[in-house]
Amino acid sequence: MVRPAGPAPEGWPDAGASSALSGAAERGELARLVDPASPLVPILDAAGCRFLRPLHAHVIGRPGTGRDTMVRALRERLRLTATGPADGAGADADADLWVLVLAGPPRHADHDLLRSAPADRTLVVLGKADTHPDWDTAVAVARRWSTRLGTPVHVVSQLLACADLDDRMFTALTELAAAGAEMPSMAGRFLVGRPGSAERAVREALLRRIDAFGVDTALSLLAEGSDAADAASLNRTLHALSGVHDLAGPIGERVALVRRRREDEIRAELERAAARGLDRDGAERLLATGGVA
């Protein structure tokens, strides 16, 4: 099955029944479908490698919507090959899926971006969900945008999905929670301490890493004495709250489609080889293979 690099997160569905061609490709046995002396062997070996490449998602959206952070979230949490604006023009050439990030009501530019991506392989995400007054509000907003766009809109805080607090930040949060500190409603008021001081620096780092909602959530978790015993477990809790894992379902639903497209790539290679006269009988026999393995 076409899969993300590394072990699949729980919940990746099976891609369904495979044809003889894609079944052999998934087992890494594509070249065994022809005579070992056939000139198709290296072509099928290369096509088989391409077939098994990890699932590739390309992130699009208006500038400032959190696209680069979404790329990181997809790589780190869902183990996808992910690209975005930082990867330059043409980075989507081999993409299987597109992720359109919205951080405000859909505008013309978003409609244009949505039209430019393949409809059946594009997910729309309300990003920066943590900047809404609360998660339920973000979900309600996403529902309204979904009605306007005619496609589901998933709710994600890509920043929380990338939470990587270190021991120094964890200790600062623990001390703040023990002192009964809360996140002020104006995030700027969190930045107490002399500019350049260690206290100010750690507070700035916290806002940069997890922003106001993340700090507020972490303080509540630590004050409640939750099992966030160290930086790593607090990071994991924030990742779990980010909504990014909920993308695994809709991504998984598109895996069968991606697999069919990759099988079409193998067929195109075989057709090119047959046109060049390379083991035409072998190529045509394989091209006639359409049944389920």
Ligand X SMILES: Nc1nc2c(ncn2[C@@H]2O[C@H](COP(=O)(O)OP(=O)(O)OP(=O)(O)O)[C@@H](O)[C@H]2O)c(=O)[nH]1
Could you give the CA distance from residue 247 to residue 59 in angstroms, rounded to a whole number?
Answer: 13
Could you give the CA distance from residue 209 to residue 203 in angstroms, rounded to a whole number?
Answer: 10
Residue 154 partner contact from ligand X, Mg ion, none using kind-dependent CB cut-offs of 5 to 8 Å? none
With respect to Mg ion, which residue has the nearer C-beta, 65 or 217? 65
With respect to ligand X, which residue has the nearer C-beta, 22 or 122? 122
Q: Which of 26, 92, 96, 211 contacts ligand X by CB under 6 A?
A: 211
CB of residue 98 to Mg ion, shortest distance in Å: 17
| H-run or E-run covering 194 | none
Question: Per rule CB under 6 A, is residue 188 in the interface with ligand X?
Answer: no
Could you give the CA distance from residue 85 to residue 76 in angstroms, rounded to a whole number?
Answer: 17
Q: Which of 77, 128, 254, 262 contacts ligand X by CB under 6 A?
A: 128
Q: Of the ranges 63-71, 155-163, 206-214, 271-279, which one interacts with Mg ion (CB under 5 A)?
A: 63-71
DSSP 8-state assignment for residue 180: T
**Strand residue runs (E) in the chain:** 56-61, 81-83, 97-102, 122-126, 153-155
With respect to ligand X, which residue has the nearer C-beta, 26 or 211? 211
Closest residue by Cα to residue 218 from 238, 191, 189: 238
CB of residue 64 to ligand X, shortest distance in Å: 5
Question: Per rule CB under 5 A, is residue 68 in the interface with Mg ion?
Answer: yes
Question: Per rule CB under 6 A, is residue 240 in the interface with ligand X?
Answer: no
**Burial category of 100 from C-beta neighbours within 10 Å (exposed 0-12, middle 13-18, buried 19 and up):** buried
CB of residue 5 to ligand X, shortest distance in Å: 22
With respect to Mg ion, which residue has the nearer C-beta, 68 or 87? 68
Closest residue by Cα to residue 257 from 75, 1, 77: 1
With respect to ligand X, which residue has the nearer C-beta, 209 or 254? 209
Question: Per rule CB under 6 A, is residue 65 in the interface with ligand X?
Answer: yes
Residue the block writes with tokens 């393949």: 118
Question: Per rule CB under 6 A, is residue 164 in the interface with ligand X?
Answer: no
Closest residue by Cα to residue 260 from 7, 40, 22, 8: 22
Per rule CB under 6 A, count of chain residues that contact ligand X? 17
Q: Which residues bind ligand X (CB under 6 A)?
A: 61, 63-69, 85, 127-128, 130-131, 157-159, 211
Q: Which residues bind Mg ion (CB under 5 A)?
A: 68
